[in-house]
Structure 1
Amino acid sequence: MKKGVVILQKFISIPTIESGLYMFGGHQRTVNGGWSFFEQRHQVFEVMVVVDGYQLTEIRDQSPMDLGPGDAIIIAPGTFHTNRNASKTAPMTYMCLHFDFEDIQLRSRIISLISNQLIPASSQLAKASQKMLNGIVKLCRNKSLSSDFSIQVEIEILLLKYLKQVNSLIKDKYSHNSSLPFSNKEAQISRDLVIAIENRVNNDDEKPSFNFSDLCKELGISSGYGHRVFKKVYGTTPLHFIDREKYKKAQRLLEYSGNSIEEVAYMVGAANVSIFSKQFRKWSGYSPSEYRKQVIKKRSVRSKNQTGYFE
């Protein structure tokens, strides 16, 4: 080896990952004959599996679906739907979970290809859905432990493994882009819009308040076309996606920064603190100050000598 020659060592890059995993309203429930739940919609996914009995699921502008034992359904964000016990007399047991996550491509594929349709009990997807929900229900049987950190991690692992399996099943079944209801050009435009939104929301050097039409103008497209394509690819409106990014930023600032609530409101583009507080409560169920107190409480750690906080 010549003197002074530097041999480049193998470099392995570890990707930046922000899963943004979120879940709520999960439960297993047995209901009486004649039970029904009013029409509703969520801005997240909902997976349901019937354990025993028969459930009638009605999605607006679609034919009703009759789900039997082991059958499943994944309801897409923003979908108006009604669930009821198909029997007037016999009980029914079901499991469900509302959830959301960051990966835009998997979100769009679930919405476009497998959501809002009956998933037969014999299919791998229904079996995977039931296995995941069974595992979570089992972990939550002891209410006193369900808020324990290790249990919550186990629940997150089950959901992440499920999403990995869903992604694999979709790739196996839909291996070509021709199966998707949007073109490569539409997918690229939508992705460019996502990047532009994320940059505007998270770059503190930019004006915190902006319009979707401004981003479309920068990309050389009309706002009407941008809205249609975005909704087509991602199954949600650009406005909802912008709100979602602002909420994530507000969460981070309230959790980890020393900024006042007034400063956080400005940094996410709210017109004033009152509007920000109302919107944040709509997002999280807490006011900004209540949310910050909850976070501090969860981050509190005790030792033999003192109580402290970790970052």
Structure 2
Amino acid sequence: MQSFISIPTIESGLYMFGGHKHTVNGSWSFFEQKHQVFELMVIVNGHQITEIRDHEPIDLGPGDAIIIAPGTYHTNRNASATSKMTYMCLHFDFEDTQIRSRMIGLLVNHKYAAETPLARRSYEMLDKIIEYSRDCKQQNDFDTQVNIEIALLKYLRDLNRLMGEVDYKDSGMPYTNKEAKVGRDIVMAIENRVNNDDSSPSFNFSDICKELAISNGYGHRVFKKVYGITPLHFIDKEKYEKVQRLLEYSGNSIEEIAYMTGAANMSIFSKQFKKWSGYSPTEYRKQVIHKRSVRSKNKVGYFE
């Protein structure tokens, strides 16, 4: 009897930027900012005050950690006017919308004390990535980058396990089961339009809401609450990833790819892709042909 075991299709879309370990002087502060990705911070020594809009200030001490949600306005400063402080941080994102949603619902914008499993695991992961990055000459080495990605992927796996424990304790989510379902329906409708509907590739969020029989305003509010980003940002991200795949692996011309992703014309398509990646579509394809490895996302801040 023959057996067949399928291997799952995996497209993690792992993305990280702005990671570092930094020792700052007394009175150090960083201006208010927000990102469209998660930001992890762990204090090595000293104390940091993190202020999130509409929240009480959070005092983070040695070993304490915080994961700041996408789209969250926040500031960070050294709690001491004279003593130095050292912290580690990393901005990251990934493809799995359901894990992303649960992280936003269960883990973000809270202090995790040094002795908690999440803080310990966060410190361990960042410390390992910092060690991999210590030699600047090796940072672009393939083995180094794979090791860094593995460290982050293992961390995300462990966060997923920790969230299972949080769910069991019934901590409560900031959105209802109905809102979670609506959010998932929106994600599936967008992914289907982008990836499977080549006959009518041009669409907007209003089309998605009409398909799901919900209002634009309600759909926008629910999606932002569940996933921490706007529907437009998610549509753009899905289109960008489709364009990347087509430029890298298909034999389609750039004009055909522009049509397949719903661009009104080549000029708009080229400008949008350069905004996304830092390269024109032609430049991107040339890099792929020569290197088969393009790290264009690091060159711009659109998805930050």
Q: CA deviation at 1:203?
A: 2.3
Query: RMSD of aligned C-alpha atoms?
Result: 2.0
Q: CA deviation at 1:251?
A: 1.6
What's 1:309 paired with? none
Once residues 249 and 8 of structure 2 are traced to their aligned partners in structure 1, the CA distance between those partners, rounded to angstroms, is 22
1:46–1:97 Cα contact (<8 Å) kept = yes
- Do the aligned partners of residues 131 and 194 (structure 1) sit closer, same or farther apart at CA in structure 2, a change above 3 Å counting? same
Name the stretch that deviates more: 69-78 or 198-207: 198-207
Q: CA deviation at 1:136?
A: 0.5
Q: 1:165 aligns with which of 148, 158, 175?
A: 158
TM-score (norm: length of structure 2): 0.89
Q: CA deviation at 1:177?
A: 7.1
- Do the aligned partners of residues 286 and 12 (structure 1) sit closer, same or farther apart at CA in structure 2, a change above 3 Å counting? same
Verify: 1:142 aligned to 2:135, yes or no. yes
User: Which whole-Å deviations, capped at 9, do the CAs of 1:88-113 have from their partners, x for residues lacking one?
Assistant: 22111111111111111110111111
Task: State the AA in 2 paired with 1:75.
Answer: I
- Aligned 1:40-51 pairs, distance under 5 A: 40-51=33-44
Q: 2:236 aligns with which of 233, 243, 259?
A: 243
- Do the aligned partners of residues 288 and 119 (structure 1) sit closer, same or farther apart at CA in structure 2, a change above 3 Å counting? farther
Task: State the AA in 2 paired with 1:139.
Answer: Y
Q: 1:194 aligns with which of 176, 187, 190?
A: 187
Structure 1 segments, 4+ long, off by >4 Å, are none
Q: CA deviation at 1:216?
A: 1.8
What's 1:86 paired with? 79
- Aligned 1:58-97 pairs, distance under 5 A: 58-97=51-90
Q: CA deviation at 1:188?
A: 2.2
Verify: 1:180 aligned to 2:190, yes or no. no
Paired residue total: 293
Q: CA deviation at 1:186?
A: 2.5
Task: State the AA in 2 paired with 1:205.
Answer: D
1:200–1:206 Cα contact (<8 Å) kept = no
Task: State the AA in 1 paired with 2:145.
Answer: Q
Once residues 178 and 199 of structure 1 are traced to their aligned partners in structure 2, the CA distance between those partners, rounded to angstroms, is 33
Verify: 1:126 aligned to 2:102, yes or no. no
- Do the aligned partners of residues 266 and 38 (structure 1) sit closer, same or farther apart at CA in structure 2, a change above 3 Å counting? farther
Q: CA deviation at 1:293?
A: 3.9
- Do the aligned partners of residues 293 and 25 (structure 1) sit closer, same or farther apart at CA in structure 2, a change above 3 Å counting? farther
1:112–1:235 Cα contact (<8 Å) kept = no
TM-score (norm: length of structure 1): 0.87
Higher relative contact order (CA 8 A, sep 6+): 2
Once residues 70 and 261 of structure 2 are traced to their aligned partners in structure 1, the CA distance between those partners, rounded to angstroms, is 23
Secondary structure at 2:112's aligned position in 1?
A: coil
The unaligned stretches of length 5 or more in structure 2 are: 294-304
User: How many percent of aligned residue pairs carry the same amino acid?
Assistant: 70
